[in-house]
Structures are given as structure tokens and as C-alpha cells.
A and B are shown apart, each in its own frame.
Chain A
Amino acid sequence: MKKVISTIAAALLISGAASTALAQSRSGLRINEVMVSNQSSIVDDYGQKHAWIELFNSNFSPLEISSVFLTNDSTQPRLYPVPLGDVNTEIPKRQHVVFFADGEPNKGTFHTSFTLVPGQDNWIGIYDADGVTLIDEVTIPAELGPDQTWARTSDGFGEWAVRDGIGTGYITPSSANVIKDTNKKIENFAELDENGFGMTVMAMCIVFTALLVLCLSFYSIGKIGSAVSRMNKMRAHGVDKEEKATVKHDSGEEIAAIIMALHEHLNTHDAESTILTINKVKRAYSPWSSKIYGLREVPGSHRAK
């Protein structure tokens, strides 16, 4: 009964962990940038300009989105299911895809069945394959002008802001909202820690802390272990607390001395009987070990006999 319960518990745990892992990967899908009125931005495969919605995979692993729903109506979460069977619906890690909100889903995978209306608030939501779990949502303000986008300040996260293509407010369909031409971390180290002293101090402190914590833990565990084994030993010897001072650990030297004494006393190894006994070893026949099945019969050898 115990076994059955533990098996069921393990199965539940595993399935729970698996569903959590799946949920984690799905929850990494983000609405990243939206253009409602497209006057001079990107065109679709048919050369036409439509409102577009950029999705971003914020995971560090590819994300298959073919079973999620896109919608602009919270009462109809299953408005546009991303079709199955298109290899392009797998978004590589930290990459983007653009959907055209043109209301013409028969034009292809990346054309939604709904449109966005300029001059009014537009709500967009992404629902998971169950049509119930909301993965991400955004409301695009009515004030958004032509050729302007409503975009996150940092890919996948951060605040939303209007972008108009001027200065640093660049519009970036299908690419990162923040264009990185250098690694900021390394730049900072190069600029602020020219001689590496800061890194050395920080890193050595961390290395020492990690090993010191480990050291202290095992110092404590060792102490507890010794105390427990001493208690067990006292219990085995029937010694009470008052007498505990007399119960000590056997040192390596003591054990070695006892073994030497026993060896001297018994002297079992050096006096051999010098009688050699050969017993026939019987082995049960098994076709798995039979060499006959592995050999090819050679006609010539029969003739020789």
C-alpha cells in the first residue's frame, strides 16, 4: 500500500513539474510592439500595409506558438488560433515574429482574423492553448498616431511607450526594441575597473564566501555527526551521561593495534595446508553461452575426423 501511495505521489509530482515547465515556457511569450495605423511601415507578402503586432519569445529556448490564440476581444479568447503545421511558428530564443492584423486569415499564418481600429483603445491578448490562461495583454491607447508604435522599453519586459521613429524612438518590427551594439557590462568593467582590482576583490569575496559557508556547514555537520555517533556508542555500551567522558572514539592507531594483535594471535594467513584440491565446477547449460551457436560448421573438419 505504501508503495502504491509513493508511486502515485511521485507520478503526481512529475506531472506537476512537467506542467509547470510547460507553463513557464509558454508564459515567456510577450506582446512587444504594436502599430495600429500603418502608413509607411513594413508591408506584408502581398505588398500591403496593415496594422501589425510583434510577439517576442523572452525564453532562452525556442518557443512553439502554433497552439496559442491571439485576440482583440476579451470575451472571445479563441478569436485567432495560430495555425498548426507551419515551421515559422517556432520562435527562436529571444527572437520576434510579426502578425498582420488585417482580418484576412486566409492569407497565411501571420495574418489574424481581426483588425485594429485607429482612434480608439485597442486591447490585445494572447491566450494559451486552453483558451483560458491569459499569457499577456496590452491596451494600445487611442492617442497613438499614424506610423507610431506602442512598444516596450525593453524587450519582453519594461514599461510601454510611444515610438515615432525619431531619434532613439526607433520602430523595430521583427527585431529588438533595444539595439545593443556593445555589451554594457563589459564596457562598464573596462571603464570603471581598468586595473581589475574591483573584480578581484568582489570575486575573491564571493569565492571565499561560498567555500566558507560550505566549510562552516560541514564543521557543524561533523560536530553533529560525532555527537550522534557518541550517543549511539554510549547507548550500545549502556553508559549513562555521567560516564560519557570515559567513552571515546577509537583512534586509527588503536584500531591498527587491535588488528595487529588479532593477526598475531590468530596467524591465519601464513600456515597453509599445502593440499591442493580440484573440484569439478558444474555449470548449468544455457544456449546463450553456447559456442555452438556462434560457430559455422566447417565440412572439412568432419572429413578429417
Chain B
Amino acid sequence: MSFGEFLLDNLTQFWQLTGFANAQFGNFVMLAVGLFFIWLAIKKNFEPMLLVPIGFGILIGNVPFNATAGLEIGIYEEGSVLNILYNGVSRGWYPPLIFLGIGAMTDFSALIANPKLMLIGAAAQFGIFGAYMVALAIGFAPDQAGAIAIIGGADGPTAIFLSSKLAPNLMGAIAVSAYSYMALVPVIQPPLMRLFTTKKERLIKMKPARAVSQNEKIIFPIVGMLLTCFVVPSGLPLLGMLFFGNLLRECGVTSRLAKTASNALTDIVTILLGMTVGASTQASQFLTPQTIFIFFLGFMAFVIASSSGVLFVKLFNLVLPKDKKINPLIGNAGVSAVPMSARISNNLGLEYDPSNYLLMHAMGPNVAGVIGSAVAAGVLLGFLA
């Protein structure tokens, strides 16, 4: 072999390893999706904390490379750096850490002051099981249907946790679908809220919530964890961490831990979770007819969840005394997209009455939705795992 041939041979081999030589149409489609997510986050400000890591993760995961070269760079190649980071998703330990942070960030006062709002959080979970029925009708197996339906909980970590257990092969599509619709909550929910409410109902003014004592705030995470986990032990990883984070926040003697859990830890896990979920959407795994169905079902789940929350409040109002009626505009907040859906309730309430601030009332069902979706995930896991 001459020196020239040697150089040519090496350059040919190098060319075989480049993205240009291995690119397929699907890669470009996914790169476009990744760029679209980043555009949505930066230009439209749709959940930027989630969509930027996911969008960039999609770019990382869809740079074409020679998978047969054994370079250990792909997210699905055991031992690669991305694969190690992806372990938190595939083994389901990122979501409980996110829940720890959510617990440490969340003030449950609105819920403690008005415990009946918890039932709205429960009613909104009908979105999950409505979508489960539709998924079965389309032809998904019960475990896959359960994993897809959890998108209706509007809770990304819960969706990842459950799909990693019930349908790991669909996890990428489910996670991206869940986060996409969470980002689109301001687009999806308001028309439904207007559709199912009358002008008179939108003007209902709710009484200000009573002040909640420190003792009640401390008792809540302890009793909440024990009661919900005794009913649904399979929800323990999510509910346990959620209430633990909240106890750190409320007990008053672990402010440093609560601060770390709600800031640094949550940020770190969000970055890793978003990026690896995005990177897991490799074109070969993601661009399948199933993904289209999953996105459709996710949308259905969101619509059913938001509608059922609003309709449940209307139903509930029938049995409530006149001075204790609930504004149905807070029903959408039963899905656990915290605090986005509560903010939408508030904005819509202000649109019809500039003095009607619903934010604190909507935070009740909103955080109940977090608990409800974790319970629902536990139920599905218990039945189908």
C-alpha cells in the first residue's frame, strides 16, 4: 500500500463515520422538530425550562453516526456517556427527584385551607382513564395504553416514571408528547373553559381562603404521604418524595435542604432529564406511526382532563351552598401543570372581572392534581405492572 492509498483509505474510513455519510431523511425531520422546540421556547416563551433542554437533546440524539462502529456515543449504547445519563430516565429515578423539588417549591396552603378543592384534582384524572379507553379502542395493549394515557395527568415526571415501567419502548414519544402539551396548556385550555362555562359562572367570586397555621402545614406532608401511600403504595416513589420535599420546606428547620431541593437539585435534574429525553428520540425509534397515535392520544387526554375538571366543578356547585360556590374556571387547574394552568384560571377570571383574582383558589386543585396524577400512576402501575 502506497502512502497515498494509506491516506485515502483512512479518509474514506473517516467519511464513513461522519454524520453526512450516515444521515437519513428521518434525522433531518427530527432535527427540524428539535429546532421547532427551541424556537417555541425562545420566541414564544412556551415552557422554556423544559423545551430548550428537550429541543437541544433532540438535536444531540439525531446527529447521525455509524451505529455499527461501536464508538459508544449513542444514547442506546451501553456504557456511553449519554446512556449513563439516560439511566435516570430509563430506571425512573429522575422523576422522584423532580418531585422532591416540586414538593419543596409548593405551598399547599390553598389546598389545606379549602380541602374540598382536592376533589377537583381527582376529577381531572378522568383525562387519564378516558385516554386509556381511547387507546384501547385504537388497538394498544393495556400496559401501553396505561403508559400513554398518563399524559393526561399533565405531569412530565409522572409520565416518564410510568412509561419507563409499563412501556419503555414508547417512553421517548410519551415524554415529548407530555411536555409538548404542557407547554401548550395556554393554547388548549382557554377555549375549553369558555365552552363549558356560562358568563354568570365565570363571574363567581370565591371567599378568600382562611389563614393556615404552621402546624397544619407541617402535618399535611406527613399525613398526606401516609394516607395516600397506604391507599396506593405503588405511588410511593413519587408521593413519598413530593411530601418529603414539602416537609423540608414547611418544617422551618431545614431551609437549606429545601432551598437546595427546590433550586439547585431541581435545576440539575431538569437539565439532565430534558436533555436525555430529547436525545432518546432518535429518528429510528421515534418516527413511527405509533408516535402519531401517542400525540393524538395525549391531546385527547389533555382535552378530557381539562374538561372533566371544569364540568366536575359545575356538578359540585349543584350541591354546594350559594355562598360557597366554586368558580368553574379553576376546574382546568385539576391537571397538574403547575402553576401554568392555575395562572390560566386567574387570567381568564380577570378577563371577565378585573377584580376576581382566582390564582390562589386555582392553586388548590393544581397541587391536588399533582397528588392525583401520582396516585393515578400508582394505580396503573399496581394494575398493569
Contact = CB atoms under 8 A, between A and B. Distances in A.
Contact of A214 (B145, B215, B371): B371
Contacts of B137: 195
User: By DSSP majority rule, is chain B's interface helix, strand, loop, or mixed?
Assistant: helix
B130 interface: yes
Contacts of B133: 195-197, 200
From A196, A208, A226, name the one whose CB has the most chain B CB atoms within 10 angstroms: A196
B275 to A, nearest CB: 30
Contacts of A207: 122, 125, 372, 375-376, 379
Contact of B368 (A195, A211, A249, A252): A211
B291 interface: no
Interface in A200-250: 200, 202-204, 206-219, 221-222, 225-226, 229, 249
Given A186-B384, A196-B133, A203 B143 contact: no
B232 A206 contact: yes
Contacts of B383: 185, 189, 199, 202-203
B208 interface: yes
B231 A209 contact: yes
Interface in B198-236: 208, 210-213, 215-216, 219-220, 223-224, 227-228, 231-232
B252 interface: no
A194 interface: yes
B73 interface: no
Interface residues of B, number: 50
A92 to B, nearest CB: 16
B119 A208 contact: yes
B119 A213 contact: no
Contact of B141 (A190, A211, A213): A190
B132 A215 contact: no
A214 B227 contact: yes
Interface stretch (B63-71, B108-116, B263-271, B324-332): B108-116
Contacts of B311: none
Contact of A183 (B143, B146, B208, B223): B143
A194 B231 contact: no
A212 to B, nearest CB: 7
Given A186-B141, A186-B384, A221-B219, A214 B136 contact: no
Interface string B344-385: 000000000000000000000000100110011001100111
B142 interface: yes
26 contacts: A185-B383, A185-B385, A194-B136, A196-B136, A196-B142, A199-B129, A199-B146, A200-B126, A200-B132, A203-B129, A203-B380, A203-B383, A204-B126, A207-B376, A207-B379, A211-B368, A211-B372, A212-B118, A213-B227, A214-B115, A214-B224, A214-B227, A218-B216, A218-B223, A221-B216, A221-B219
Nearest to A212: B119
Given A199-B383, A218-B220, A211 B143 contact: no
Nearest to B219: A221
B379 A203 contact: yes
Nearest to B143: A186
Contact of B142 (A186, A204, A211, A213): A186
B53 interface: no
Contact of B376 (A190, A203, A216, A229): A203
B121 interface: yes
A186 B228 CA distance: 25
Contacts of B111: 218
Contacts of B384: 185-186, 189
Nearest to B371: A211
Given A190-B142, A222-B115, A200 B129 contact: yes
Contacts of B232: 206, 210
A194 to B, nearest CB: 7
Interface in B110-159: 111-113, 115-116, 118-119, 121-123, 125-126, 128-130, 132-133, 135-137, 141-143, 145-146
B376 A200 contact: no
Given A185-B384, A207-B376, A213-B227, 19 more contacts: A185-B383, A186-B143, A186-B384, A190-B142, A193-B142, A200-B129, A204-B125, A207-B122, A207-B375, A208-B123, A211-B371, A212-B118, A214-B224, A214-B228, A214-B371, A217-B115, A218-B223, A225-B216, A252-B211
A45 to B, nearest CB: 29
Contacts of A210: 122, 227-228, 231-232, 371-372, 375
Contacts of B371: 210-211, 214
From B119, B368, B383, name the one whose CB has the most chain A CB atoms within 10 angstroms: B383
